Structure formats: C-alpha cells, structure tokens
Structure 1
Amino acid sequence: MQPTIQSPTSSTGFRTWWNLLRPHTLTAAFIPVAIGSILAHIDDSFHTLLFIAMLVASLLIQAAANMINEYYDYKRGLDHEGSVGIGGAIVRDGIKPSTVLQLAFTFFGISVLLGIYICMQSSWWIAVIGIICMTAAYLYTGGPYPIAYTPFGELVAGFFMGVVIIGITYYIQAGSVPTKILLLSLPTSITIGAILTANNIRDLDNDKENGRKTLVILLGKKNSIIFIGSMFVVAYALVVAFVIAKLMTPFVLISLLSIPLAIKATKGFIGKTEPIEMMPAMAATAKTNTIMGFLIVIGLIIGNILS
C-alpha cells in the first residue's frame, strides 16, 4: 500500500515535517556562520545581508543533507519502524520517499539562488566552492559510495561544515581568508566531527550488519569512546592555545564552561549496549558543539566591545 503524506497543518504533521529537518543538527550550520561573521565584524567587514544569505543557505544545505540521508537510509534498508533516532519520517510517518528527495533538491535550489546573490556581492569563485559543498552534502549519504559509510565521514563533515563554512563566511564579507581564520575554525570543525562519531557509536551494530566501514567500526567501541573524548580535549586545548598565542580574546575562555557537557557525552557511551541507552550521550555531544560555539561567539563579541 502506498504511504500517505502527513498534513503539515496538524500538530502531529508539523512535528513530522520539523523532525525531517533534524533540527538538532542545524546548529552545526549556524555556529560556523556566526563565528565567521563575528570574526569579519571584528575586522570591520561585517555585512548584514551577506550574513543572512549565508546563514539561510547553510541551514538549507544542512537540512537537505539530512533529507538525503533519510531517503538513502530508507532505500538501503537501514531505517525501519524500530530504528532509534529522530530519522524515520518515511518508515514511521508515511512521507513518500520521492517527496523527501524532491524537498531536498528544492532546498538546494533555494541555496543556489542565495549563492548567486552572494557571488554578485563577493566573487564568482564562491559558486565553485558552493557546488563542491552541495555535491559533498549529497554524496555524504547518496550515490553508490556514500562518504558516511567510510572512515572519512567525520573528516569530511568537520572540514566542510567547519573550516569551509567559516572560511567562506569570512571571505564574502572581508574579501580574503587569512590563515588565522582557518586555524580558528578548527575547534568547531572537531566538535562537528564528534557529532558524527557519536552517531556512529550508537549505530555501531546496525552499521556492521549493513556493511558500513565507519571509523567507529574500524576502531571498535572502546577505542571510539576514547577517540571522541580525545576530540573534545583537542578542541578545548586549541581554544586555550589560541588565547595564549593572542589569536583570540581571553573572553572566549568562557567556552570552557561547556566542558561538563563534553564529559557527560563521553561517559554516556561507557557501559551502554542498546542504541536507545546512548541517545542522551548523542544529545550531549550535539549540545557541546552548540554551547561551546555560542560561548565562543559571545566571548568574541565581548572582547570586541571591550577592546
């Protein structure tokens, strides 16, 4: 029997469509744009409309990537009614697979229009980078050889959503990308990668059964927990190092207040065997990225005001 599409006007329907966006992941797109923009503002190069255009385009591309993930997880049989997580709009909520894919490409289309505006205000080289970013977003879980099924998922996600987004955001407003900006993007890149590691730790058994070769599968669960903890240590250590090197204002050290969340995220995987038991640790990992990023932005703003 052909599944029916939920109506987004009802309460249940709205939640279905909202969950399809996987809103808890969208801060991984918002934070890099915010950091890139405040760094540009500190260098007296902030442009409000470019900030808004870049922010909306980044959020749409992230949401589209989530929908493509939803579509291909369904097509490959990874999603079923008993799957744990926010995904499952197709198998549990009855949204047609074709609708999910069409909506993803619609979001890509809107992003292209925003990209044209951004290029007109900066450089047409941004179009090339934008196409590469959207291609990576699609190939992350789409195509014959999905990046997410390889050991390089964390590296690709962290690079594009951290280094690239922060770099582009700064460039379109300032006209150049100093090496300093790329260095300052690393803590955010690392915590974004940690979100993928957390997801893969939760899905370890299911991924093994379906032939994935993620980094977590190669490392094993115990070593993966050590790895994600190490990622947090490196991210916070870089923030401290940047302050010592006077690349960032000392006020960004307020981001260290998010360390308890990172500890909670890491410890939350220890001794857990069922995916549902690991959901709090996954949530804590995403919150670490969000809160750490927000606090870095706040620290940069305070430092700029008081300088």
Structure 2
Amino acid sequence: MTLRAWLMATRPKTLVAGVVPVAVGCALASTVTTLRPLPAVGCLAGSILIQVGTNFANDAFDALKGADTPDRLGPTRAVAAGLISARAMLIATAVVLSAALGLGLYLATIGGWPILALGCVSLVCAVAYTGGPYPLAYHGLGDVFVFLFFGLFAVMGTAWIQVAPDAAALIAAWWWVAAAVGLQATAIIAVNNLRDIATDAAAGKMTLAVRLDERGGRWWYGLLHVGAFACLGMAHLDGLGGKNGLIVPIVAAGLGGAALTLGVALNRGRALNRYLARSAALQVITGVSLVLAMSI
C-alpha cells in the first residue's frame, strides 16, 4: 500500500466535480452578500471529502462485485489491482466520510436543518452509490446521483450557507446555473460508463449507459452538454452575470460541449479515457468563467 496507490484511488482528475459547484455557489452568493471565508472552506473540504469517500467506496465495492477486472479499459483501480485491500479501502471510506460528517455538523450550525438533512443523505448515498442492498450505479441511477449531489445540491447548498438565514436572498435563476453545473458533472460519469459498457454489462452493473447501449449512451452524453448550454442560456435571460451576462460561460459550454460530443461519437474503448479528462476540463473552464462572470 503506497501513497501513490492511495492518491490514485482518490481519482484526482475527477475531483473538479466537487470543487466547481462550491466555487460557483460562492460566486452566486457573492452577488447578494459578503462571502464568509470559513464556511466556504468548509463547503469545499466537505464536498471533496464526500467525493473521495464515494470514490473509495466505489473502488472497494466494484472490485468485490467483480465489476472491476483486469479487462477494464479505464484507469487502474487500486483494490482490483491488488494494490490496496478491500478491507483497508472500506476503513478509509469510513474515516473520510466521518471527517465529512464533522464538517457537515459545523455547516449545519450555519445553514440549519436543510444542510443537516442534505449532509446525511449525501453520506448515505456516497456508500449506496455502489454498495448496500440497492447500489444506485448498478440500477442506472448513478447519473441522477451525480446531477443532484454535484450540481443542484452542492451549488445551492453552498449558496444557502453563505446567505443563511435570509431565504429571500436566494435567487430563483441560480437553479439554472446549478443545473448546468450538474449536467456537466454528469457528462463526466456518462463518458466513463460509456467506455465501460462491456465490462459493466458482464458484471451485471446496469448503468444508464448499459441500458441505453453504445448509441444511446452517446446521444445521452451529447444531450447533457446541450442541457448545460440551455440552462446557462436561461440564466443569462434571467439577468444573471455582470455587464456581459453569461456570454462567456455559454460560449465555453456550447463550443466545448459540441467538440466533446463529436469526439465521443468518433471514438471507442480506451480512446474515451481522454474524453473523461476533457469533460472534467470543460467543467473547470465553464466554472471559472461563471465565477468571473459573477465578479465582473
């Protein structure tokens, strides 16, 4: 068990899905209030811990269920490769999620019961994503999980912690931005599952990509980017952003999404690994442009 194996198990290239929604949530809140740094850091740390805990649990449970095998086309998984034992990975999952719980209790003192409830559900779903009696990812619900927890809930939860207890400060148009962030995060898991269709199907892991088949999975990936583009357009029409509105994020999401959709349509197997990284990169680019649009 090396440090390198543990770092690999965190899946660092995908951690942007936990960082971007918090940054965007803070940017949205900054348009109506003065940001509170400590709660912002707490949200960021909590989001990353939940994502790492989810990744650790996924690494262990997928190996135990036979979904991760030597035939997988994606990056090496620590437990399946024998680098870390399943027991050690599950212990690490418990430690990481316990730390997230501690942060959640602190944030609940600011955001109240909605944050407490959201935190508890997030922790349960982090394990239930691939573990428990009804693993979400094995029943085609992984995409829904990502959209909600790395989109709507993460963005709006962060914004709420900044403006609480003034519920009137929340702006309805923020939901459009939160949805766009969630759709781009979902695109990351969508291309991951598209790549793994064959091995997932063989292991009985009925992801949405397996259910849709390769052609449907590619259509789904493209629709996620179209949806993100449309949601940002709606937020722009609702008047969000500085003097130029959300033009730059819209262009980034539109052109980037179109290029990635074309690339995913033309590639198969291991070639899709680079589109996993590029999908994450597009979310970062869009997220940064959103933060800047709210600030200028």
Considering the TM-score relative to the shorter chain, is it more than 0.5?
A: yes
Aligned to 2:185: 192
Matched, 1:143 2:132: yes
Task: Trace 1:80-229 onto structure 2 (pairs within 5 A).
Answer: 80-92=69-81, 94-175=83-164, 176=167, 177-229=170-222
Say whether the 8 Å CA contact 2:68–2:77 is kept in structure 1. yes
Structure ranking higher on relative contact order (CA contacts 8 Å, 6+ apart): 2
Matched, 1:298 2:295: no
Match of 2:65 among 76, 100, 104: 76
Say whether the 8 Å CA contact 1:253–1:296 is kept in structure 2. no
Moved more, 146-155 or 134-143: 146-155
Give a deviation string over 1:172-225, Cα, whole Å, max 9, x none.
110124433223211111111111211111011111112222222222211221
Say whether the 8 Å CA contact 2:10–2:55 is kept in structure 1. yes
Gaps spanning 5+ residues in structure 2: where? none
Give a deviation string over 1:95-138, Cα, whole Å, max 9, x none.
11111111111111111111222122331442222001111111
- CA deviation after TM superposition for structure 1 residue 87, in Å: 4.2
Matched, 1:60 2:55: no
Say whether the 8 Å CA contact 1:265–1:280 is kept in structure 2. no
Aligned to 2:265: 270
Distance between the aligned counterparts of 2:38 and 2:92, measured in 1? 25
Distance between the aligned counterparts of 1:299 and 1:225, measured in 2? 31
What SS does the aligned partner of 1:285 have? helix
TM-score normalised by the chain length of structure 2: 0.91
Aligned to 1:286: 280
- CA deviation after TM superposition for structure 1 residue 259, in Å: 4.0
Percentage of matched positions with identical amino acids: 26
Distance between the aligned counterparts of 1:102 and 1:232, measured in 2? 36
Distance between the aligned counterparts of 2:265 and 2:27, measured in 1? 37
Gaps spanning 5+ residues in structure 1: where? 9-14, 303-307
Say whether the 8 Å CA contact 2:176–2:231 is kept in structure 1. no
Equivalent pairs, count:
290
Distance between the aligned counterparts of 2:148 and 2:223, measured in 1? 18
Distance between the aligned counterparts of 2:148 and 2:232, measured in 1? 17
- CA deviation after TM superposition for structure 1 residue 83, in Å: 2.5
Moved more, 127-136 or 143-152: 143-152
The one-letter code of the counterpart of 2:259 is K
